[in-house]
Amino acid sequence: MFSFALHLIARDFRLALRRPMDVASALFFFLIMASLFPLGVSPEPELLRQLAPGILWIGALLSNMLSLPRLFAEDFQDGALEQMALAPYPLFLLAMSKTLAHWLICGIPLAFLSPLLGLQFDLPPDALGILFVSLLLGSLALAGIGAVGAALILGLRNGGILLALLILPLYIPALIFGTSAVDAVTHGLSPLPYLLLLAAFTLGCAVFAPLAAAAALKVSLE
């Protein structure tokens, strides 16, 4: 089972290397959104520091959503998903591997990019570190919830809007805990309670989201 999961993750990495623009588009969206926002609001440093956690987290959240419709769709269209489902392994393993691959390919680069963008908002160094940690934790939860939504819309034409309606409300806890952790640092408070809540939410998503995605895949494949 472990080697099967590694094979699926490595396969998604090879596919991502063949289509680098899929990953680059999410990073460019994050970069452009975070860069244009200060120009449209105000150059006042104090105001930008107050808005930075929400802007950067929402930008990362929306960037993460760009590649979600393709998470299972391409394998479903060429029949590879059915072949994977016929393997003597549970669908839970397939959903977990695809979710982990999406996090490694999309979520981690967004987390590494966030401190660089945080400099535009005059965030202090300790807040930049918490921003990175919170996005690193939270992006795994976003990937898990997104995998459930991607499995539910599998086979639907123009399911992107439906995907957003399904998963955006479920993203709210991660958004609140992540932004509150960064905001706490900027106000001289401890971010630890919010990071622990975010870690607990991420752990719950890591356990239950692949199960829900596997159930949705089973329905879509029947």
pLDDT tens-digit series, residues 44-88: 878 888 888 999 999 999 998 888 888 888 778 877 788 877 777
**For residues 203 and 174, what is the distance between their CA atoms, to the nearest angstrom?**
12
Residue 23's pLDDT band (cuts 50, 70, 90): confident
| Confidence at residue 35, expressed as pLDDT on a 0 to 100 scale | 86
Q: Give residue 194's pLDDT.
A: 95
Least confident of 89-98, 177-186, 201-210: 89-98
Mean pLDDT of the chain: 88
Going by the DSSP 8-state scheme, the letter that residue 42 receives in this structure is -
- Answer for the pair 149, 166: CB distance below 8 angstroms, yes or no: yes
Contacts of 14 (CB under 8 A, 6+ apart): none
What confidence tens digit (pLDDT) does each residue in 57-69 have? Answer: 999 999 988 888 8
CA distances from 158 to 3, 57, 163, 169, 212 (A): 34, 26, 9, 20, 22
Cβ neighbours of residue 63 closer than 8 Å, sequence gap 6 or more = 26, 27, 29, 30, 33, 106, 110
**Percent of the chain whose predicted confidence (pLDDT) is above 70:** 100
pLDDT of 205 over the 80 cut:
yes
* Over residues 149-155, mean pLDDT: 85
- Return all residues near 1 (Cβ < 8 A) that are at least 6 apart: 89, 93
Q: What is the mean pLDDT of residues 201-210?
A: 93
Residue count of the chain, please give it: 222
| Range 190-198, long-range pairs (CB < 8 A, 24+ positions) | 191/130, 191/134, 194/134, 195/130, 195/133, 195/134, 195/137, 198/134, 198/137, 198/138, 198/141, 198/174
